């Protein structure tokens, strides 16, 4: 089975994140840039499928030069190779444009299965897997907490607001996973050393046959007009419980008309 895993480099969600004042894009220079957490679960799931069914696992990333760090980190977990879509004209690309580029890159790899995280910690849009399925004509099995593969038939348990759904499809398909699906492995020392020698194929927009004016600032279908820091919440009243803490809590709820 040929598997492509989508990996996005994002600013660490555990630290302060900012938008740039000049062009309203994510400030990557001042951020600690890491693999989108949910993508690690996608990589793990791909590796488990490879261990069970054979085949190859390729990491696909679109991003600037520094995304190389995340690609090597992803490869250190065990995938065989990576494709890095890198082009200056990509700066300013929105979700619609990103799906255009990734769809072209996926087509070139002609995988049986694409696995991604269910959402990225920066945009939290959850739109990419279905956008790609729409462009590629793949089945989309999204929001999975469990994935089983029998031959070319896939079955997922999809998390929903009310519980879960069981959804099936044949390959080629795109599956997105939540962090409930597995426990990602830590890269071994051997894995980290091996990752340095694994092939990373850099593709430009021209290589993928995507016109530069369909992506980047020129091709964006949305624009950020302005941004500002939300005033931080200020701490209110804090009382130490000396036997009547529960009553004090209800007094407060009552004063705010919740009780």
Partner 1 sequence: MAEVLVVVESSGGTVKKVTLEMLTLARSLGEPAAVVLGAPGTAAPLVDKLGEYGATKVYAAESAEIDEHLVAPKATALAQLVKTASPAAVLIGSTQEGKEIAGRLAVKLDNGVLHDVVELAADGTATQVVFAGSTIVKSKVTKGLPLVTVRPNSLTPSPAAASPSVEQVEVTLADTDKLAVVTKRVAEAKGARPELTEASIVVSGGRGVASAENFKIIEELADLLGGAVGASRAATDSGFYPHAFQVGQTGKTVSPQLYIAVGISGAIQHRAGMQTSKTIVAVNKDTEAPIFELADFGVVGDLNQVVPQASEEIRKRR
Residues 118-137 that bind partner 1 (CB under 8 A): 118, 121-131, 133-135, 137
Residue in the block written with tokens 């809590």:
249
Task: Out of 150, 151, 186, 221, point to the residue binding partner 1 (CB under 8 A).
Answer: 221
- Looking at the Cβ atoms of 194 and 220, the one nearer to partner 1 is 220
Query: Using the rule CB under 8 A, is 225 a contact of partner 1?
Result: yes
Query: Using the rule CB under 8 A, is 20 a contact of partner 1?
Result: no
Task: Out of 96, 109, 192, 194, point to the residue binding partner 1 (CB under 8 A).
Answer: 96
Cβ at position 17, least distance to partner 1 in Å: 4
Which residue in 256, 203, 165, 179 sits closest to 71, CA to CA? 203
- Looking at the Cβ atoms of 22 and 161, the one nearer to partner 1 is 161
Which residue in 61, 86, 26, 90 sits closest to 218, CA to CA? 90
**Span interacting with partner 1, options 46-54, 63-71, 194-202, 249-257, rule CB under 8 A:** 249-257
Task: Out of 161, 186, 189, 196, point to the residue binding partner 1 (CB under 8 A).
Answer: 161
Task: Out of 150, 162, 189, 190, point to the residue binding partner 1 (CB under 8 A).
Answer: 162
Query: Using the rule CB under 8 A, is 230 a contact of partner 1?
Result: yes
Task: Out of 190, 196, 197, 233, point to the residue binding partner 1 (CB under 8 A).
Answer: 233
Query: Using the rule CB under 8 A, is 168 a contact of partner 1?
Result: yes
Which residue in 67, 82, 77 sits closest to 184, CA to CA? 77
Give the CB-side neighbour count of residue 75, counting CA atoms within 13 A.
24
Q: Which tokens belong to 150?
A: 């029998």
Query: Using the rule CB under 8 A, is 212 a contact of partner 1?
Result: no
Cβ at position 166, least distance to partner 1 in Å: 4
Residue 177: Cβ within 10 Å count: 30
Phi, psi of 143 (to 5 degrees): 70, 40
Which residue in 29, 87, 26 sits closest to 216, CA to CA? 87
**Span interacting with partner 1, options 45-53, 85-93, 116-124, 186-194, rule CB under 8 A:** 116-124
| CA angle at 63 for the pair 159 and 191, rounded to the nearest 5° | 75
d(CA 218, CA 36): 26
Cβ at position 7, least distance to partner 1 in Å: 17
141: helix, coil or strand? strand
């Amino acid at each position: 089975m040929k598997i492509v895993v989508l990996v996005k480099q994002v600013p660490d969600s555990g630290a302060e994140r900012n938008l740039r004042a000049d062009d309203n894009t994510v400030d990557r220079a001042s951020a600690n840039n890491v693999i989108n957490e949910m993508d690690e679960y996608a990589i793990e799931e791909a590796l488990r499928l490879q261990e069970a069914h054979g085949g190859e696992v390729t990491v696909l990333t679109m991003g600037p030069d520094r995304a190389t760090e995340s690609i090597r980190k992803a490869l250190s977990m065990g995938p065989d190779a990576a494709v890095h879509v890198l082009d200056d004209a990509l700066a300013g690309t929105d979700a619609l444009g990103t799906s255009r580029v990734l769809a072209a890159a996926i087509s070139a790899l002609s995988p049986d299965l694409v696995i991604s995280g269910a959402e990225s910690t920066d945009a939290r849009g959850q739109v990419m897997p279905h956008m790609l399925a729409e462009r590629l004509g793949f089945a989309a099995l999204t929001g999975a907490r469990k994935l089983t593969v029998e031959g070319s038939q896939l079955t997922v348990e999809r998390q929903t607001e009310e519980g879960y759904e069981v959804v099936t499809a044949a390959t080629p398909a795109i599956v997105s996973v939540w962090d409930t699906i597995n426990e990602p492995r830590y890269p071994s020392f051997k894995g980290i050393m091996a990752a340095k020698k694994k092939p990373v194929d850099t593709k430009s927009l021209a290589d993928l046959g995507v016109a530069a004016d369909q992506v980047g600032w020129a091709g964006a279908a949305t624009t950020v007009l302005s941004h500002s820091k939300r005033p931080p919440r200020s701490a209110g009243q804090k009382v130490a419980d000396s036997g009547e803490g529960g009553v004090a809590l209800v007094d407060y709820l009552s004063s705010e008309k919740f009780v």
